[in-house]
Chain A
Amino acid sequence: MNDYFSYLHDNAGTIGGLLRAHTYLSVVPVVLGLLIALPLGAIADTKRWLMTPLLATAGALYSLPSLALLLLLPIILGTQILDSVNLIIALTIYTVALLLRGVIDGLGSVPDHVKLAAVGLGYSPLRRLFAVDLPIAVPVVTAGVRVATVANVSLVSVGSIIGLNGLGELFTRGFQTNDYNMIVTGIVLSVLLAFTLDAIIVTAQRLLTPWARAAAGAGR
């Protein structure tokens, strides 16, 4: 055990750097994915005929094997194989694929009478989207964001197979050198990171949707 702590102590700087990189690579695609999925979902919500093709495309993209995508992207984009942009783009694609359904379902969860009231009271379509539809969709969308974030934390590890920074490096190097300290640290930190990010999202959602808790309290 002492060995382990001295390992942590000696490698704190490296491990910290990997953790930071891992966090960055997990979170940025979620933010980008949300920024893409929200307008796409909003468009699908008004142009119903777009919904099926959009969701089918999202499903197809999600089924792409991650490793293959990571090797393909540099060829398509002309980027360096070790450029982290590849990973960010790949994960953004997965995130959009995951979140799109959530956004569509979330906007669909706005009751018809609420939409009708919003229109009838004089909301313009765009204002209604931001002031009424999206806020009401937050709980459903957030459920998707949580899944996407946790999935990203685990997918970033795959990036280390092709040599990208992240906690996955602790697995690849640990296996190569039979260093169990590294492997255990990698696993523990990955899990902790996923937990922490999830907790942050849940807290943010609670702050954003006090009304959802009121609904739960009212027992309906």
Chain B
Amino acid sequence: MPHNRPYARQGADLSPRLRTIMGDRVRKDRQGVVLIEFESVSKRYDDGTVAVDNLSLTAANGEITVLVGPSGCGKTTSLRMINRTIAVTSGRILVDGDDIRSVDAVKLRRGIGYVIQQAGLFPHRTVLDNVTTVPRLLGVDRREANKRGMELLERVGLDPHLARRYPVQLSGGQQQRVGVARALAADPSIMLMDEPFSAVDPVVRMGLQDEFLRLQQDLGKTIVFVTHDIDEAVKLGDKVAVLEVGGRLAQFDSPANLLSKPVDEFVEQFIGRDRGYRALGFLPASELPLQDLNATAIGPGAKTFPRSGSLRAALDAALTSSDGRAFALDDDGTAIGLISQSEISAFIVTKHAAVS
């Protein structure tokens, strides 16, 4: 998908009123926006099963939109309809305002990064040849493709020595990194990621998630990410779409709202336990009223939390410290104040009252 659609020009020609209506879109488009819009999209199979039921949502430019839900909720189907590896039954999907069916499917796919579970690496090709797949398909010459491929390997945190290895010689986590590098190779503006981190163990998964978020901060791709793991969804998503079995969209919201205001019983159940506590992860610790240090030193066993971090980190530090108090640290790691469990909960109570 070319991402240089002439929206900026369109925006300039618009009447002031129309510009206000389209405001957000025009502004974003000037920065080379890539929106993915589902317009009443449904997928019905011949046997009558409905995989996706009248789905409407917008994956915003430069953001990670997570589709999450139990198996059979149509999340993977929804994702695969974007690159047309599954055909839409009714409704439309727009990328950049264009119906995806207006472009040849093969061309469309080469412009969209695609990462899947188990990585889907080509076993008969070296790591580097895997990474350079799409540039080579697009006709980039081998030397240039390889140069970019090596840069990408480094970018996703892989040792350049692995370039000549075959996928089977890598660990699961390394294979997933190659999968991500391969999806990024032609610098697409859109990335589709289908449970990319599900097949690796929890520790590796956490590392991959953190690095993925760091990478996305640099790259600012428009990402649609599928997972069955609500914790992953809440951690990675700018917006999270919770889907129900039968392909109905239950809630489309920010992670914080999802945790604090689930719209119905299904969403509440799906989010699971401790959602109140987990919601604290999205509230800043910066407004906590700290006590002066008064020369209190950080002794052994004392717990600390970053002032710029979340309430969850602060409360956790206070709950696990021996005297029920935790030290706040500034960005340089210097202690700037103290707070107790009861003060944190009092703060949460006032916050909560203010919100509701």
A114 contact set on B, CB distance < 8 A: 120-123
Partner of B137, one of A113, A123, A215: A123
Q: Is the CB of B109 within 8 A of A120?
A: yes
B166 contact set on A, CB distance < 8 A: 210-211, 214-215
The answer for the CA separation of A135 and B121 in the assembled complex, in Å, is 14
Nearest Cβ in chain B — how far from A126, in angstroms? Answer: 11
The answer for the CA separation of A197 and B121 in the assembled complex, in Å, is 33
Q: Does A65 contact B (CB under 8 A)?
A: no
A121 contact set on B, CB distance < 8 A: 109-110, 114, 133-134, 137, 182
Q: Does B85 contact A (CB under 8 A)?
A: yes
Q: Is the CB of A122 within 8 A of B137?
A: yes
Indicate whether A215 sits within 8 Å of B85 (C-beta atoms), given known contacts A122-B137, A220-B168.
no
Q: Which residue of B lies closest to A208 (CB)?
A: B124
Q: Is the CB of A214 within 8 A of B85?
A: no
Q: Chain A contact residues (Cβ within 8 angstroms of B): what range?
A: 20 to 34
Q: Which residue of B lies closest to A120 (CB)?
A: B114
1/0 per residue, CB under 8 A from A, across B61-84: the answer is: 000000000000000000010010
The answer for the CA separation of A120 and B115 in the assembled complex, in Å, is 9
Q: Does B169 contact A (CB under 8 A)?
A: yes
Indicate whether A211 sits within 8 Å of B168 (C-beta atoms), given known contacts A117-B121, A119-B85, A123-B137.
yes
The answer for the CA separation of A6 and B179 in the assembled complex, in Å, is 66
Main secondary structure of the interface of A (DSSP, over half): helix
Q: Does B251 contact A (CB under 8 A)?
A: no
Q: Is the CB of B110 within 8 A of A122?
A: yes
Q: Chain B contact residues (Cβ within 8 angstroms of A): what range?
A: 20 to 34
B165 contact set on A, CB distance < 8 A: 214
Partner of B116, one of A113, A122, A123, A209: A113
Q: Is the CB of B121 within 8 A of A120?
A: no
Q: Once A and B bind, how many residue pairs between them come within 8 Å at the CB atom?
A: 79
Q: Does A218 contact B (CB under 8 A)?
A: yes
Q: Which chain B residues in 123-139 approach chain A with CB under 8 Å?
A: 123-125, 133-134, 137
Nearest Cβ in chain A — how far from B251, in angstroms? Answer: 28
The answer for the CA separation of A119 and B109 in the assembled complex, in Å, is 8
Q: Is the CB of A218 within 8 A of B116?
A: no
Q: Is the CB of B125 within 8 A of A117?
A: no
Q: Which residue of B lies closest to A139 (CB)?
A: B124
Q: Is the CB of B168 within 8 A of A116?
A: no
Q: Does A13 contact B (CB under 8 A)?
A: no
Q: Is the CB of A124 within 8 A of B120?
A: no
The answer for the CA separation of A122 and B188 in the assembled complex, in Å, is 13
Q: Does A82 contact B (CB under 8 A)?
A: no
B112 contact set on A, CB distance < 8 A: 120
The answer for the CA separation of A118 and B106 in the assembled complex, in Å, is 11
Q: Is the CB of B169 within 8 A of A217?
A: yes
Q: Is the CB of B109 within 8 A of A135?
A: no
A124 contact set on B, CB distance < 8 A: 106
The answer for the CA separation of A127 and B139 in the assembled complex, in Å, is 14
Q: Does B223 contact A (CB under 8 A)?
A: no
Q: Is the CB of B85 within 8 A of A120?
A: yes
Q: Does A158 contact B (CB under 8 A)?
A: no
Nearest Cβ in chain B — how far from A99, in angstroms? Answer: 20
Q: Is the CB of A122 within 8 A of B107?
A: yes
The answer for the CA separation of A122 and B192 in the assembled complex, in Å, is 13
B192 contact set on A, CB distance < 8 A: 120
B52 contact set on A, CB distance < 8 A: none
Q: Which residue of B lies closest to A119 (CB)?
A: B85
A220 contact set on B, CB distance < 8 A: 168
A136 contact set on B, CB distance < 8 A: 122-124
Q: Is the CB of B169 within 8 A of A116?
A: no
Q: Does A132 contact B (CB under 8 A)?
A: yes
Indicate whether A122 sits within 8 Å of B119 (C-beta atoms), given known contacts A211-B166, A215-B168.
no
The answer for the CA separation of A111 and B122 in the assembled complex, in Å, is 10
Max count, chain B CB within 10 A of own CB: residue among A116, A120, A124, A220? A120
The answer for the CA separation of A211 and B169 in the assembled complex, in Å, is 9
Q: Is the CB of A214 within 8 A of B169?
A: yes
A119 contact set on B, CB distance < 8 A: 85, 109
Nearest Cβ in chain A — how far from B181, in angstroms? Answer: 13
Q: Is the CB of A117 within 8 A of B169?
A: no
A217 contact set on B, CB distance < 8 A: 169
Nearest Cβ in chain A — how far from B193, in angstroms? Answer: 11
Nearest Cβ in chain A — how far from B162, in angstroms? Answer: 12
In the assembled complex, 6 residue pairs joining A and B whose CB atoms fall closer than 8 Å, in A order, are A113-B117, A116-B116, A121-B134, A122-B109, A123-B106, A138-B124
Besides the contacts A121-B133, A214-B168, what 14 more A-B pairs have beta carbons closer than 8 Å? A111-B118, A111-B123, A113-B119, A114-B122, A116-B85, A120-B83, A120-B85, A121-B114, A122-B110, A122-B111, A122-B137, A123-B137, A138-B124, A218-B168
